[in-house]
Amino acid sequence: MADLLVRREGAALWLTLDRPDSLNALTGEMVADLAEALRGSTADADVRVVVITGTGAAFCAGADLGGDDPAGKYDGGSVDGANALVRAVTDLAVPVVCGLNGVAAGVGMPLALACDLVVAARSASLTLAFTRIGLMPDGGATALVAAAVGRARTMRLALLSERIDADEAHAAGLVSHVVDDADYEQALADVVARVAAGPPLAYAATKKAVNATTLGDLEGAFARERSGQSVLLRTADATEGMAAFAARRRPTFTGE
């Protein structure tokens, strides 16, 4: 699969985003491939845990908006793809561990938070970033973030697009583990090994119950985000926001 490394290590299936020069920004093909790999993992009864991580300095910088026409790359299909990817993570019966090796921005943040355990390097960070380009969070972010940190912090992260570092994310309940960078790879391997050796039926039942309690309105969030984003993508503010992003300048929003 292009830009996605897939490997088996014992009972663990490792899925590694592999566009380090673009901070692992997601193309439509990558989103589809990752969702397919997640769904396909159910065909192998020996897979007890799935790991999602990134190559290089970032986990995932969000949707790929590079090039001369960023607005042409982000559309309703992009939102649908992000929703399907997050749904594939939450629906998977086996635990999914996120190896948060660096920044998770835009849709990279809900992708990380959809995972059942998040092992973060201390230098890692998270930011929704959508409002910086005149859009709203998608990929189920409005449900995933709120389930972890509540309304006030969700509004702060969503409206102000603030970056939150790994220690603050851990204290807020967004990530399950945070370790020094020097210990990150071993800590991630230890968590993966522990999950791989655990009781798969109990894990599946536990994951289903916890997600039903905390993410019961995830489908509603997908629908609301899809509807809102479809409108916002046609606004002058979104066009300006993405043009400013491409030009590396501050956007000027007019409310149009």
pLDDT of residue 77: 82
Query: What is the predicted pLDDT for the residue at 67?
Result: 61
Query: Is the pTM above the cut of 0.75?
Result: yes
Going residue by residue through the chain, which has 256 residues, state the pLDDT in tens, using 9 for 90 and above.
789 999 999 999 999 999 999 999 999 999 999 999 999 999 999 999 999 999 999 999 999 987 655 555 566 688 999 999 999 999 999 999 999 999 999 999 999 999 999 999 999 999 999 999 999 999 999 999 999 999 999 999 999 999 999 999 999 999 999 999 999 999 999 999 999 999 999 999 999 999 999 999 999 999 999 999 999 999 999 999 999 988 899 999 999 9
**DSSP code of residue 254:** -
